[in-house]
Every structure is written in C-alpha cells, then in structure tokens.
Structure 1
Amino acid sequence: MSPAIHLAQQPEADELLGRSPLAALVGMLLDQQVPMEWAFSGPYTIATRMGHDGLDAHEIAARDPEAFAALLSEKPAVHRYPGSMAKRIQQLCRFLVDEYGGDAEAVWRDAASGKELLDRLEALPGFGKQKAQIFLALLGKQYGVGPEGWREAAGAYGEKDCYRSAADITGPESLAKVRAHKQEMKAAAKAAKASGAGSGSGSGSVSGSAKSTKNTGN
C-alpha cells in the first residue's frame, strides 16, 4: 500500500508522490528556492504534460533537452527556474538509467545501512549532503524505508518530533510548523551576520544556518 503523502497539498500530486519513487526524487530535487508545495507538485505537472499518469526515467532521459525545458516552462511553470531544473531532472534520470536501470526505488531498496543509503543519495546529481539527509529522513519517516542507523545518517532531520524539513510534513499544521522553523533560522542567520560584520566571527555558522532553510520553501 502506498503511503499517504501530503507534501504537495494536492490530492493527485500527493498520490503520485506516494506511489512513484521517481516522483519523490524529482520533487525533492525541485525543492529549492520555491515553496515546498510548488516543488512537490512538479512531478504530477510533468507527468500530466507528458500525457502519462506517472514518470519514467528512461523516457525523461531520452527527451530532447530543449523540448523538455519548454515543457517545464509552460505556464504555470514547474519551477522558478524551469530551464535549469529541466537539465537537472534529465541528469538525474540519466544517472538512474545508467546506474540503476531506471529503477529509482533501487537507490534505497537494498541499502544495508543508513550510511550506505546516504552515500547513494549524495551520489545522485543535484543532491548535496543536506538534500540527501532530508530525503533520507523523508524515506524513514514517511515511506517506511528504515535501514539500520538511518536516523543518525539523516542528522538533525532524522530526529523524532521535529519540524525542520519536508520529511516532517504530514498536513497543514506540520507545514506551518516547518515554515515557522524556517523563519526562525532566517532570523538567526540575519542576526548572526549582523553581529559578526567586520569581525569575521560567526561566518561559518551563518552559512550553515542559511543553508538549512533552503529546502522548506519560501
């Protein structure tokens, strides 16, 4: 049975995220510099415009890049930067075809540990450590993917009863809590930057705080 996902806050889009591992990966890839709901509704929009009820890594990888970019750019656009994100999605799908036979779920299906799964996720095009940890936490918390040590590998995003990222969104109430956390992190980063101006102190922590807010939407 597919998990009940509420990341897009749209029934059809969330249903696709629940049954399609590739849609979940693409949604996570898109979750950058746009509101989370916009990002995670992207896979459904792409599938619909391609005339399908799901996504296929082989088909996306083989699409003409300009045509695929145009598909994402149609109004309403799939992302604030549809052209660059179209390239990233195709890069991801080509990697999945080359390394996993186009089977997105194979990325985590037989992972023996949280560390191994994190390494696999970090190897995906467009997935840095933070995005990989958030997606690992999402898999563990909502998709029932729990190799030994997954919470530790996911870092702070794997903690129970926290509201840090997309991994913790189960409905409107939790979405509001994640947004509130993001605003707190932004405020803390701004304050740290102001207090450290000219002294050089705190620059590392400012960078880390700012980065920690990117994937929860604007």
Structure 2
Amino acid sequence: MNTTVRLAQQPEADDLLGRSPLAILTGMLLDQQVPMEWAFSGPYTIARRMGRDDLDAHEIAVYDPDRFGALLADKPAVHRYPGSMAKRVQQLCRYLVEHYDGDAAAVWRDVGSGEELLRRLTALPGFGTQKAQIFLALLGKQFEVRPTGWREAAGAYGEAGSYRSVADITGPSSLEKVRAYKQEAKRAAKQADAKRS
C-alpha cells in the first residue's frame, strides 16, 4: 500500500496515511468532532510520540492505558477529547490483534464484496454505519480497494464525482467543495427543523 493522500494537509502525516493501513484506519476513527486535518494528522503525531515511523496495533493494544491517554493529551492534543479517543484507538487495536493478527489491511484484503467489507468495517470498535460507508468509499476511491458492489455498499459516499466526505478529498480545492457541501447540508437540516417547530 503506497497511495498519495492529502487528508492531513501535512506532507509527513499524509505520507504515513498513504503507506500505513493502521494509520488511515486510525485517522478515520479520530475523524469526529474535530476538523478533518486535525483528525488525520493524529496517527503521525501518535507514531512520533511513541518514537516510531509507523503505528503497530500489537504495541498500542498493550500500551499502558494511562500513559497512552497522556500521550494523546500532550500539547498539542491529538483530539479535542484525547482521553476517550485514546481508549477508542486502543479498543480498535485490540480488536485488530484479536481478529486480524494486528494487520489492519486484512480487514479489506481479499474481501469478496462491498457488502462483506461494510460488515467488517461496521464490526470495528468506533465505526458506525456512516463512518464505515465513508471509509469504504475512501478505500475504493483513493486506495483502489474495489470489491464487487463497493459503490453501492458505500451508499451516497460511493458516488463518482461527489464531494460529500473525506473519500472525495484529494487536495485543497476538493476540501473546499466538501466543506461547502457539509455547510449546505447543515443549513438544510436547520431549516427542516425550524419548519417542524
């Protein structure tokens, strides 16, 4: 796996995301309630603070929880909620160790269909249906992981030419298009709520 991504908008962090299955999975896990760039630079920050060039699921799974939480909380924090996200990252790594021998890429390697891949992703700790569909679309659109029916399994996030999520971000201009889409979706939701009141 060696893909050029521009999700962290930082060369070193994006390089790690493009070559490390665990890093891209962890970035997706962290991508909530913080700006996307902050979330996807998190794996690089974690690796550096652990004194590594990459993330290792076995090492993170058994890392002392208090020390791991402190590592994510150190300034600048890896996430707005470093304590709870540290627990989630460790839960994810423990799951990967238990079910995939610590190999994050095994989640999608040799998968038979988009439906099966969606099932595997939604089984991961911290991955609900929407996050799993976005990640499935990211794998298909940017990492060439395209089992039969992957676009359908990813739902609207799998549509070609859309700008709905991180799956569609390949640089600053597409990032702006995704942000504009999300702002419009929020505005529409507020208007719909106001009409119901």
In structure 2, give the amino acid aligned to 1:74. Answer: D
Structure 1 residues 56-90: Cα deviation after superposition (integer angstroms, max 9, x where no partner) = 00000000101000000000000000000000000
- Separation in 2, partners of 1:189, 1:77: 31
Greater RCO structure (CA 8 Å; 6+ sep): 1
The alignment status of 1:105 with 2:121, answered yes or no, reads no
- Separation in 2, partners of 1:185, 1:64: 41
Residues 38-57 of structure 1 aligned to structure 2 (within 5 Å): 38-57=38-57
User: What residue in structure 1 maps to residue 37 of structure 2?
Assistant: 37
Shift of 1:93: 0.2
Residues 100-179 of structure 1 aligned to structure 2 (within 5 Å): 100-179=100-179
In structure 1, give the amino acid aligned to 2:195. Answer: S
- Separation in 2, partners of 1:177, 1:113: 30
Shift of 1:9: 0.3
User: What residue in structure 2 maps to residue 87 of structure 1?
Assistant: 87
In structure 2, give the amino acid aligned to 1:107. Answer: V
User: What residue in structure 1 maps to residue 15 of structure 2?
Assistant: 15
Where structure 2 has 5 or more consecutive residues not aligned to the other structure, the ranges are none
Structure 1 residues 178-199: Cα deviation after superposition (integer angstroms, max 9, x where no partner) = 00001001101110111001xx
Shift of 1:110: 1.3
Structure 1 residues 132-179: Cα deviation after superposition (integer angstroms, max 9, x where no partner) = 000000000000100000000000000000000000000000000000
Matched residue count:
197
Where structure 1 has 5 or more consecutive residues not aligned to the other structure, the ranges are 198-218
In structure 1, give the amino acid aligned to 2:124. Answer: L
User: What residue in structure 2 maps to residue 27 of structure 1?
Assistant: 27
- Separation in 2, partners of 1:18, 1:151: 21
Structure 1 residues 22-47: Cα deviation after superposition (integer angstroms, max 9, x where no partner) = 00000000000000000000000000
In angstroms, what is the RMSD of aligned CA positions? 0.5
User: What residue in structure 1 maps to residue 62 of structure 2?
Assistant: 62
TM-score by length of 1: 0.90
TM-score by length of 2: 0.99
User: What residue in structure 2 maps to residue 203 of structure 1?
Assistant: none
In structure 2, give the amino acid aligned to 1:184. Answer: E
- Separation in 2, partners of 1:196, 1:29: 33
In structure 1, give the amino acid aligned to 2:127. Answer: F
- Separation in 1, partners of 2:90, 2:174: 31
Shift of 1:120: 0.1
User: What residue in structure 2 maps to residue 206 of structure 1?
Assistant: none
- Does the residue aligned with 2:104 lie in a helix, a strand or coil? coil
